[in-house]
Structures are given as structure tokens and as C-alpha cells.
Amino acid sequence: MRVAICDDEKMWQDNLLTKLESFYGKLDMECQLFFSGEELLDMVKQGKDFDVFFLDIEMPKLDGIGTAKELRRLGINSPLVFLTSHTEMAMEGYEVAAFRFLAKPIVEEKLMKALSDIEKMIYEKKSILLKQEGEEYVVEISKIIYVEAQNNSVRFVCEDHEYTCRMKISDAYEKLCEIQPIFSRVHRGYIVSLSHVKKQKQNDIYMSDGSVLTISRSYAKEFREQLMEFIRKNAR
């Protein structure tokens, strides 16, 4: 997750950064700190992308609302989360399609709920391009239930369709994780979407479409860790 924090007070920057690292983990998040809207906009104009922006509403010169308007004018559609000590100013944020408002001091429970909702929204919008028999298909990541190796091909089992593509399952796993890291390799022949796992019983994984897949012993520990982390993030 690529995060931008724009706040003119270091105390609030550090406070929010600590909470974000607790949610994502340092390795799963790239965060940049900005002390002004002008500084943030300069970076965006240079081509830097962020998945979410945390903007302090009350900043000297260009405030959070003004920064947000310029971001939208530049075509940035990422979620905007406003931070403010004066909640009466929050209404202005609706002009720029604000995703959420968080009052200072930030309540951790409300922040975690916002982060979970952002993760879900980003996940539902992402897609992968799959090639089958010379045709190309844009498939929503959220609809992929699991992937199965079949000789020199892999079968993508989705909610509403199946696609068979000529590629290695290791390449499929790498490609999926680059787009959205919610997939787990559970067997040399299977990749599962953690969002479609219904339950695990001994060496079996029960998927949302009714399929029951086997966990290989060599992948079991990592799968359990990934599943617990996924549940931790999405149960808030």
C-alpha cells in the first residue's frame, strides 16, 4: 500500500504513521510524509502514485481541501481521508468526494475501519488481463476463487467463468500477488484467494464455490499465517 500523509505538524504525522505501520506492517506499506499541500502536489505532478491520501484540512497557504481539489483536477481518483480538529469543516470535503473524515486525536478503531474499507474498495476495482485461445479477457481480481495447474496451462476458476491460460502456475502466482497480495500458494498445483476461503479443516480448504482443495504440508504454515493476517485486517 502506497500512502501519502500531508500534515504540517510532525507530531500528527508520527502518530498516524505508527498506527498505519501497526495495521499494514512496515514491509507491506510505502509511506511518504509531506508538510504542505504544495509539496505533495509537486511529487504527484512528477508522476508519483499513491493508493490513499491522508490530508490535514487545516494547513497554512494551501489547506487540505484546496490540495484535494487540485488532486482531483489532476485526475487523481485515489481515496482521500481528511484529518481535522474541527469537525464542522468536514462538510467541505464532500465537494471532492472525500472517502472518510477522521477527527484528531485519531481514534484507532475508526482508523482501522477506514483502512479496511479502503483495502476492500481498491481490491474490488483491480483486474488482471488473461489470454485464452488468442482472446484477451479483463477479469476482476475479486472474482478469482482459485487457480489450478493443468499440464502446461493454468485454470483460473472465477465466480462466473473459467479461463485456461498457457503459463506456469508460479508465473500466475507472481502476477496475481503483484496486483493484489491476497493470494496464497497452498499446493504445487493450487493458488487460492484468501477472500474466498470459507474454512480450513485439517488438510482441506473449503472455497466459496463449494470446491475443497488440499493443502500441501510444505505450504501449510505459510498459508495459515497469510490467512490469519488477512482475517486480522478485514475483521476490524
**In the chain, which ranges are E strands?**
2-6, 30-34, 52-56, 80-84, 100-103, 127-132, 135-140, 144-150, 153-158, 162-165, 183-187, 190-193, 197-201, 204-207, 212-214
pLDDT at 85: 74
Second-level CATH architecture of 2-124: 3-Layer(aba) Sandwich (3.40)
Main-chain dihedrals φ then ψ at residue 93, nearest 5 degrees: -65, -20
pLDDT at 20: 94
pLDDT at 236: 46
Q: What's the burial of 58, exposed, middle or buried (CB within 10 Å: 0-12/13-18/19+)?
A: middle
Parts of the chain with a pLDDT under 70:
26-27, 86-95, 235-236
Instruction: Say how far residue 228 (Cα) sits from the centre of its chain.
Output: 16
CATH 2.40.50.1020 residue ranges of the chain are 127-234
CATH 3.40.50.2300 residue ranges of the chain are 2-124
pLDDT at 92: 60
pLDDT at 6: 98
> Was domain 127-234 assigned CATH 2.60.40.1180?
no
Main-chain dihedrals φ then ψ at residue 56, nearest 5 degrees: -70, 130
pTM (predicted TM-score): 0.68
| DSSP-assigned letter for residue 188 | T
pLDDT at 205: 96
